[in-house]
Structure 1
Amino acid sequence: MSQVTRRRTGPSKGDLREAAILEAARALFSERPYESVTIDDLASGAGISRTSFYFYFPTKTAVLTALMTSVGHDLAAGHVWFDADGPARDLLRTQLETSATLWRANAGILSCAATAMATSEELRDFVGRVRRRYDERAAEKIRRDQAGGTATTAIPAHRLAEMISAIRDARYEQLAGATDAELREAVDDLTEAIHRLIYGRA
């Protein structure tokens, strides 16, 4: 007797429940401090029991790490400047605008992550890896441009990349609740500052 294998045509019940937990977590972490969100809150928001929650995530921090992973993927997808040669100022601005918009949209989650990192080695390691990947890609681009004669060689590429991250993060931390006009101003400022830091005056 032949056995017919049914092909899955959509997400499983487990997939849907995991997605519901993440959606509930996104809303809760966007509205409340990390410490005030409980497992019961996450389970209730997803419409499942506390016991069911643990089938999908072992801890509250694991849920936050999953959300941060999604944010990290979205940020990486917008890194159009890193693959360009030379100053490519328009692409630099596009990359900054994309990341600034994502940062503003996820400000609550990022704030919760900053709090959780104090007690979660897993989350610290994850955020550290994301930052290192960004700095490495920035440094690779700067080295190409140094070799091509467009970028300054007075400062090593890896240090310039670290300086870009510091400038960017400090400005992005001010964007929670920013208007569209304020976000555009921040992006313009960062584009100018980073361009001058690496390539000098336009």
Structure 2
Amino acid sequence: MSQVTRRRTGPSKGDLREAAILEAARALFTERPYESITIDDLAGGAGISRTSFYFYFPTKTAVLTALMARVGDELAASHVWFDAEGPAAGLLREQLAASARLWRDNAGILSCAASAMATSPELREFVGRVRTRYDERAAEKIRRDQAAGTATTAIAAHRLAEMISAIRDARYEQLAGASDDELREAVDDLTEAISRLVYGRA
């Protein structure tokens, strides 16, 4: 007699609880400083007990790291300029617009991460990997363009990539609470600055 295996078609109870913790954390990290948020706050926001919380995450920082991983994945998915040839200002603007929106929409999480990195080697390592991944992809593109004769060779590709990150991050830090018009202005500023830096023209 054959047996019929029942297949799960939706998220499990555990999946839903983990998602609830992350959603509660997103709201709390957006509204309050990282240091003021407790495990009880996160568990209560998700509608579970403190004991149940530890079944899914060992620490508050682990929850923040999971949220940062989502942001990092979305950021990586927006990197359309890195595969282009030459200045490709339209794709550069598209990439910057996507990452600027991510930065603005997750400003609270990013602010909490900046605070937590002071005491969390795990989070510092994760953020470092995300930054390195960005810089390596930028440097690879610049090397291709240098070889093709479109990008400046006066500065090494990896240094240019680091400078792009510094310029971008400094401008993005001003975007918390920015309007759509302010965000577009920031993207325009960055598109011109990066184009001039790498290619010598806007």
Q: TM exceeds 0.5? A: yes
What TM-score comes out, normalization by structure 2 length?
A: 0.99
1:115 alignment partner AA? S
1:60-139 matched pairs, under 5 angstroms: 60-139=60-139
Give unpaired runs (5+ residues) of structure 1: none
How many angstroms apart in 2 are the aligned matches of 1:95 and 1:136?
16
Aligned to 2:185: 185
| 1:14 equivalent in alignment to 2:46 | no
Aligned Cα root-mean-square deviation (Å): 0.7
- The one-letter code of the counterpart of 1:157 is A
Is 1:47 equivalent to 2:47 in the alignment?
A: yes
Q: CA deviation digits over 1:122-166, x for unaligned, max 9?
A: 000000000000000000000000000000000000000000000
Partner of 2:56: 56
**Counterpart amino acid of residue 109 in structure 1:** I
Deviation at 1:5, TM superposition (A): 1.7
Q: Distance in 2 between matches of 1:140 and 1:201?
A: 20
Structure-2 separation of matches of 1:196 and 1:31: 38
Alpha-carbon offset, residue 18 of structure 1 = 0.1
1:161 equivalent in structure 2? 161
**Deviation, structure 1 residue 20:** 0.2
Aligned to 1:34: 34
Question: 3-state DSSP class of the match of 1:10?
Answer: coil
Deviations along 1:57-89, one digit per CA (max 9) or x if unpaired, are 000000000000000000110000000001000
State the Cα distance separating 1:201 from its structure 2 match.
Answer: 1.9
The 1-side partners of 2:104 and 2:62 are apart by 22
**What is the TM-score normalised by the length of structure 1?**
0.99
* Partner amino acid, structure 2, of 1:30: T
Aligned residues: 202
